[in-house]
Structure 1
C-alpha cells in the first residue's frame, strides 16, 4: 500500500484526499491508476497474443515504476529469449544480411611468447637435470642383502 507523502501514514484505499491530514493526493492517485491500467493493458495484450504491443506496454510501466516486479519479470523473459535466439541461430543472422556476432579475439602475441618461454625453460631444466649433482639422502635403515627371496627392503627390528 502506498503512504501519504505528507503524513507518511499508510493509505488503506486510494482516494483524492488523505483521511488523516487531508492532503491532496491527486498525483498519487493518477500515478497508481496509470500503473494499474498499464499492467492490465499489458496482460490483456499478452492474452490476446499481441506480444509486441504487450512488451511496449510493460516498458511503459517500467518507465513509471522501474522496480515493478511483474513488468521486470516479463521483460526479462523476453530479453533472455532474444539473447538466446541471437546466439543459437547464426544462420538467421546470415539470412537477414546482419553481420555475424563478433568472435572472441585471438590471444595477443605476448601470451604466446610467455607460453613458449615456459616450455623452453622446462625443456632446458629437463635436459640439464642429469648434469646437476644432488647430494645423496642418507638413510639410517639397513638393507638385507641375502636370503630375501629376491626382494630388497629395510630390516625391521624384531619385537
Structure 2
C-alpha cells in the first residue's frame, strides 16, 4: 500500500493488520532489521529462529515488490527506514472447564508497519549538494579576493586624495 500523505518521496509504506503474534515478540525481531538494507534484512529474517520472522519476512518482501512494480525502484537500493509494531485487537473466547465454569482465552494480535526508503534518491541529493559545495568552495575565495582588492583600492584612493588635498592647501 502506498500512502502519499504519510511517506515522503522515494518511500514505500506497508502495514499488516491482525497478525496473530504478541507485539513484544514481534518487536524483538523488528528491532534487529530496522535501519538495514533490504537484502540484509532478508538474510537476518531467514536465519532467526523465531515464529515472528515469517509474517515480517512476507511484509518486507511484499513492500519491496510494490516498490519495484509501482515506483520502479531497484530492490538493492532499498533500506528499512522505519519499522514499528503496535498492539492490535484481542480475540477473546471461552474455554469450557469443569462444573460449568469457563476460562477466558485471549488471542493477541499486532499491527506491523514497515517503511522502505530508496537510498539512490538520497545519494543523488547528496551529490547535488556536494557539487554545490564544490562550486562555493572554488568561487568564494575568488569573490572574496575581488572584494578585498576593491576595498583596498578604495582605501588607497582615499589616502592619495587626502595627500593631494593637503598638498593643495600648502601651495595655496
TM-score range (shorter-chain normalised) is: under 0.3
Q: Give the TM-score taking structure 1 as reference length.
A: 0.22
Q: Which has the higher contact order (CA 8 A, sep 6+)?
A: 2
Larger-gyration structure (1/2): 1
